[in-house]
Amino acid sequence: MVYPEMIIFDYGHTLLYEPGFDTLRGEKALLKYVKSSRKTYTAEEINGFAKTIFREISTVRSMGYELHEWQFRKFLYEYLGIEFSIPMP
């Protein structure tokens, strides 16, 4: 078997472009799996809050740190008190 010398992983619109990327569509898809929530949120409210938080934490990129999407989503939903009926990574 021949193994590659290197594998490049890029996910941030540097090498890979996703024309259909839509965070609101993702939030709407997740809402049907909400098991419990402290408050009833709309997909638009969650998405708006997520964008605000993402902008705030993006400032640490200049320090060489990048928050993984899984960490970000875990923080977001725990902060909002949302629990899902499906496992989240």
pLDDT, tens digit, 9 for 90 and up, residues 61-86: 788 888 888 899 999 999 999 999 99
In contact, 10 and 16? CB cutoff 8 Å: yes
pLDDT in tens, 17-72: 777 889 999 999 999 999 999 999 999 999 999 999 999 888 887 888 888 888 99
- Indicate the domain borders of the chain: 23-84
Query: Taking the model in full, what pTM does it have?
Result: 0.76
1 vs 84, more confident: 84
User: What was the pLDDT predicted at 47?
Assistant: 98
d(CA 56, CA 52): 6
